[in-house]
Amino acid sequence: MPAKTPSERKSIATEGAHISWANTLDRTARTQHGRDAFTQTFLDAADGDPIRAEHLRKAHFTRMSRLSAKARRKASQPVPELAEAELAEAGGPLDAA
């Protein structure tokens, strides 16, 4: 059997994931262990104090939101012109050809 390309492997994995989730009757129960483990990380960081853990969780999601907004702003900015050194290295401006 010939080796699969990365694209084929990704397609097979995606198909398998869709089949797996289609066969899952209780999606909430399937993901409960992961949610519990995530919550436990905040409890561990707060030495078991649930109020401190909740503040740590809120701080985490606030930080994630801020970083996401920063990344979206950066992605929406136009690409700056190449610096002179980069232009020289690239062979000069495109219209010089």
88, part of any domain: no
27-45 vs 50-76: helix axis angle to the nearest 10?
A: 110
Structural domain of 48: 30-72
Is residue 56 a contact partner of residue 42, using CB atoms and an 8 Å limit?
yes
Number of folded domains in the chain? Answer: 1
Lowest mean pLDDT among 3-7, 19-23, 46-50: 3-7
* pLDDT of 68 higher than 90: yes
97, part of any domain: no
2, part of any domain: no
What is the pLDDT of the chain when averaged over all its residues? 89
> How far is 49 from 21, CA to CA, in rounded Å?
35
pLDDT at residue 3, rounded to an integer: 85
Picking from 20, 30, 86, the residue whose alpha carbon sits closest to that of residue 94 is 86
